[in-house]
Amino acid sequence: MICISINQESRRLALVDMLNAARQCDLLEVRLDRFEKAPDLKDIFANKPKPVIMSCRRTQDGGYWEGSEEERLALLRQCIISKADYVEIEVDAADQIRRFPPTQRVISYTNMQETPSDISDIYEECLKKSPDVVKLVTLARTPEEAWPLVQIVAKQRVPTVVVGLGKPGLMLSILGKKIGAPWTYAALERGMEAYPGQATVHDLNAVYHYGVIDKSTRLIGVTGFGEPEYVTAAVLNGALAHLALPARCLPMGVGNVKLFRRVMEAVKLAGAVVDPDHQEVLKEIAGELHGVAKQVQAVDMLLHKPEGWHGFHTGFQMVLHGLTSILQSKFGENPLNGRILVLAGLKGLARPLAEEIQRRGGSVILASHLKKAGQQMAQQLGCRYIQFEALYSTMHDVLIVCDAEKEEAAGRTTAVHAGYLKPGMVVLDLTTGGRPSTLIKQARDRGCLVLDTRQMLLDQLELQAKLITGKQVPREVLVKALPELPDEPEEQEDA
């Protein structure tokens, strides 16, 4: 089941949201701590379109309650007397609110900072409070942090809900559905999340296919929680649904690689699509590397077969094919030979692309704000390094943006001045997950040759779907499964 949290500050707006949410969920959580005025419980219960969970969260539990604890407990008792379907009560307050059927008590524990090492003991404490349902809410950023919660649900003695705060919580939602959690939480729409990173009900249903997941569903991991990974999960799930296969994507963090592998095996993943930041380190999981993965020593896909894990690199092939095709239209055969290419950013496909371009006779220049790392990588590859600002005065035929470098460069990014772009220049932006970036739009407007990143992404996902299923998926199926993305934020031009 899906529970949508109602976080409005007025009774009228709360009732409107309850009506809208009821069409898309099984339960409604009414957050009494969000109300500006004392709520009219009689009115809420008289107009509820679905069963409701009444909660009144304290500030230490991520809530907004500003009254006294006595007033809060009195409000929860009033909900029980009014025969709410469920009332959420914190484990340390449970002894102060007794059972009163038919209302069911949800005994909860919340930790906004971590998943504590003694979470099993905390769960046992919750069980001592005669719960109808137990709810555990923690910050679980990686599989090893989330794994104790998964194990608790797998061995639950009463219905148990686990919530991971932030985008990594998606992993717990999907795994919880597979192993029998009674419900998960979702926001009605973007901008109405109960906490940052909470999935919307649309995400759960349309992108992750929450409703069809059960104990028999095989899972394919998708590491990372950015926009590219969101698109990947949506399209691959669309392909799996089209083929009527009992498998769906599981969004995952990575964390410690050894523990990540143990989680992969415990969950019995059928495969994993790997985000750029982990493609080199996760190659160690593969007992055998295939094709270009062996050459570049990196994997963007792992598949489990009876003899073990096999590694592939599908993205590199798609980028290289697209690059050579667009250059052939300008330079003819052997298009990389003698060309000068600037690779902006040091992560993603920068290293394998640099190696292959040089092998084919091209000259590579690395451009980055990260001087020390850029010089070191250039020395290893036997190519030239320039600081990012110098690309405006450096002769080259091709610009490939491989990595945005947002965190490491203290807020500076690899955004490019539009005035630098010249007709005939070849421009690729590999940082956008398939959407046309501001850079690509500007390059096209200025007569540059640009690679259609959306088509390249679909090519890659088509290949990945074939590797996973062994079957060809029609392109129109993949296009239909592409999710609508929020408007791209304006990029800041960097000096």
pLDDT given at position 218: 95
2-197 CATH pick, 3.10.310.70, 3.40.50.720, 3.40.50.150, 3.20.20.70: 3.20.20.70
CB-based contact 83:102 (threshold 8 Å): yes
- Contact status, residue 484 vs residue 207, Cβ threshold 8 Å: no
Q: Are 53 and 79 in contact (CB under 8 A)?
A: no
Mean residue pLDDT of the chain comes to 88
Output the pTM of the full model.
0.79
- Dmax over Cα atoms in the chain, in whole Å? 80
CA 67 to each of CA 74, 79, 107: distance values in angstroms, whole numbers, following the listed order = 11, 17, 21
Q: Write out the two tokens for 491.
A: 């990029």
Residue 314 sits at φ, ψ, to 5 deg, of -85, -35
By C-alpha distance, which of 112, 103, 122, 119 is closest to 51? 103
- For the record, the structure tokens of 136 come out as 């555990």
> What's the pLDDT tens digit per position in 406-460?
544 444 555 778 788 889 889 988 877 666 678 888 888 999 988 877 788 888 9
Q: What is the pLDDT at residue 434?
A: 62
Q: Residues 190, 191, 197, 199: what is their CA dihedral angle, to the nearest 10 degrees?
A: -30
The length of the chain in residues reads 495
List every span in the chain annotated with CATH 3.40.50.720: 316-455
- What integer is the mean pLDDT of 107-117? 92
Residue 204 DSSP symbol: I
Pick one of 3.40.1160.10, 3.40.50.720, 3.60.15.10, 3.20.20.210 as the CATH number of 316-455.
3.40.50.720
pLDDT in tens, 125-152: 999 999 999 999 998 877 778 888 888 9
| Residues forming a β-bridge with 477 | none
Closest CA to 304 of 177, 218, 237, 429: 218
Which amino acid is located at 484 in the chain?
A: E
The predicted pLDDT at position 493 comes to: 39
Taking residue 389's Cβ as centre, other Cβ atoms within 10 Å add up to 12
Element holding 460 (H helix, E strand): helix 453-469
Q: Is the dihedral of CA 87, 62, 24, 179 positive or negative?
A: negative
- CA-wise closest residue to 324 among 277, 362, 272, 381: 362
Q: What is the mean pLDDT of residues 331-357?
A: 88
Other Cβ atoms less than 10 A from the Cβ of 408: the count is 15
74 close to 54: Cβ distance less than 8 angstroms: no
Tokens of 29: 């959580």
Helices (H) and strands (E) in the chain, counts: 16, 20
Which residue intervals of the chain bear CATH 3.20.20.70?
2-197
pLDDT band at 485 (very low <50, low <70, confident <90, very high): low
Q: Is the pLDDT of residue 467 over 90?
A: yes
The per-residue pLDDT for 40 is: 82
